[in-house]
Amino acid sequence: MNVSISWSQPIEIFKPGTYNTDEKFIEHLRKFIEEQDDPVLDKKGIFMFLSGELKPQEKLSVVIVEGTADHTIREKIVKKKGHIREFKCLYKNYKNENLYLKIGTLEDVEINNEIIQNIVCALINYASPSCNEPCKNKTEISIYNRGDYSPLSERYGEEEE
């Protein structure tokens, strides 16, 4: 399977350490995302949280990769229930880091939960985000990243053929 993902410009998020508990951080993260007027949040697809610096020189690392096929990315983040281990990991490990969110829109692919899950798993396996569990799914996927895809590589999955 070949997939092309077009990545958005980073959306800057506040530093988690501004809040004294992970609950407060998560509550404010949800509110922040809910109030953003960026239309890219109303798409379905892949999203990743990044930590690091954009200026003077971009140094980012992937912290969380997730995706959604049946909700918008805004809804997925705002309504994330129960299993918020990833957001707690953001708070605990990146308190004084700048956080960013990038949205990946899939091109020429019929989006459904299985495809999104396979792509998220492939990205987790390629990029090893620190707050995601490793994926057991081994679906062969070649990923071509376009737009503002840093710190991801432009292509994944082709060298194994």
pLDDT in tens, the chain (161 residues): 899 999 999 999 999 999 999 999 999 999 999 999 999 999 999 999 999 999 888 899 999 999 999 999 999 999 876 558 999 999 999 999 999 999 999 988 889 999 999 999 999 999 999 999 988 877 889 999 999 999 999 999 875 43
Q: How far apart are CA 123 and CA 108, in angstroms?
A: 18
Provide the β-strand partners of residue 62: 50
Specify the pLDDT at position 57.
86
Q: What is the pTM of this model?
A: 0.93
Specify the pLDDT at position 20.
93
Query: For residue 16, what is the DSSP state?
Result: G
Q: How far apart are CA 54 and CA 25, in angstroms?
A: 22
> In 3D, which of 96, 110, 109, 94 has the Cα closest to residue 144?
109
Specify the pLDDT at position 137.
79
The sign of the torsion formed by the CA atoms of 51, 150, 43, 70 equals negative
Q: How far apart are CA 15 and CA 141, in angstroms?
A: 34
